Amino acid sequence: MKKLLSLCLTAVMAVGVCGCSSGSSSAAATAGGTSATSSGKLVVYSPNTDDLINAVVPLFEQETGITVDVITGGTGDLLTRIDSEKENPQGDIMFGGMTPANLLKYPDDFAEYTSSNDTLLPEEYQNYGGVISHYCLDGSAALLINTDIYSELGLDPDKFTSYNDLLQPELKGHIAMGDPANSSSAWAELTNMLLVMGNEKYDDAAWEWVGKFIDNLDGISLDSSSKVYKGVADGEYAVGVSYEDPCVNLIVSGATNLKLVYPSEGAVWLPAGVAVIKGCQNESNAQKFIDFLLSDEGQNAIATTTARPANTKISNTTELMTPFSDINVVYEDIDYCAEHKTEWQAKWTDMFTSAN
């Protein structure tokens, strides 16, 4: 697997192919009936974490013989790049960041494809619009606390349980948040807030709360989702408004001064999407990658990470994943949020600019 660690890097860094699955089914067979000796190339654009990429891509390469180049970056930057390249696509697939809202914004940039493995998923997580396939569930309301920094501010981390706790005066200027106009995880966090923090879903009262939250950010708006959770882990911030996968991974990796809170008002899990780039050079291989992601072998590979598989019959292997039964799970109106994305992003930007 060749991987570009950042969208702005120009050098391709080769990393070793590691890990394999002892699953009884052949991923090559589930990935469109291709034999393990098939060859070719696949260029993947992805905003996903290294752990998720490394759990899936090397196994796909091993099972199919296809060489994968991974270019990583923020969702907004990658979608802008795909759109700018649409006359001569350089990528083959967008692995992550594909939502109904982004499809609505870039309707001509992605090709229709529905995998034969789509029926393995629960109906609510099956293909959207004939274009977006779902491979895992992202917890969009994950509040990561650095207990050391939080305590230094005179606060008790054990009493932090909710979105409302973000409004504590002591936290002003100590909260990390991404830009919902450019970060898919920050956008998901905003829509989660709008869903649960008003008197009714997405009402003016929810926006009033968002305004108070923006005031407490005190001008902090990070340009990538990774800077949020990494900044908290490094002690730059007391709290990070992030998403579940990388936050749990930090704890699984041994961080003892981090605590993950799912807001008591309610937390949304959104299906993460992947789509084939229209007119790409390796369309067949891109389709095989989606087939693999949705196969039992692909879903079991995802289950070894801190992302939750879209096939809810398959459970994560780490015991540090909080079960859904212990979380107030709420459900977003995905289409409604997609229809209002441009409007709400502009509203956030205006409110943030006015406050700072």
DSSP-assigned letter for residue 188: H
pLDDT tens, position by position, 260-295: 999 999 999 999 999 999 999 999 999 999 999 999
1, 17 contact by CB (below 8 A): yes
Q: Where are the beta strands (DSSP E) in 223-354?
A: 239-242, 258-261, 267-276, 308-309, 329-330
> What confidence score (pLDDT) does residue 21 get?
33
User: From the CB of residue 172, how many other CB atoms can be counted at a distance below 10 Å?
Assistant: 14
pTM for the model stands at 0.74
Q: How confident is the model at residue 225 (pLDDT cuts 50, 70, 90)?
A: confident
The span from the CA of 264 to the CA of 251, in Å, is 20
The span from the CA of 73 to the CA of 93, in Å, is 14
> What confidence score (pLDDT) does residue 208 get?
98
CA within 13 Å, CB half, 275: 28
Q: Identify the residue whose tokens are 């120009």.
A: 10
Mean pLDDT for the stretch of residues 241-270:
94
Q: How confident is the model at residue 2 (pLDDT cuts 50, 70, 90)?
A: low
User: From the CB of residue 184, how many other CB atoms can be counted at a distance below 10 Å?
Assistant: 28
The span from the CA of 115 to the CA of 117, in Å, is 5
pLDDT tens, position by position, 41-67: 999 999 998 999 999 999 999 999 999
Q: Strand, helix or coil at 315? A: coil
CA within 13 Å, CB half, 185: 32
Query: Hey, what domains does the chain have and what are their CATH numbers?
Result: 2-138+270-309 (3.40.190.10), 142-265+325-355 (3.40.190.10)
Q: Above pLDDT 70, what percent of the chain? A: 89
Q: In a 10 Å sphere around its CB, with 0-12 CB exposed, 13-18 middle and 19+ buried, how is residue 85 labelled?
A: middle
Backbone angles phi and psi of 16, in degrees to 5: -70, 145
Q: How confident is the model at residue 25 (pLDDT cuts 50, 70, 90)?
A: very low
pLDDT tens, position by position, 122-154: 998 999 999 999 999 989 899 999 999 999 999
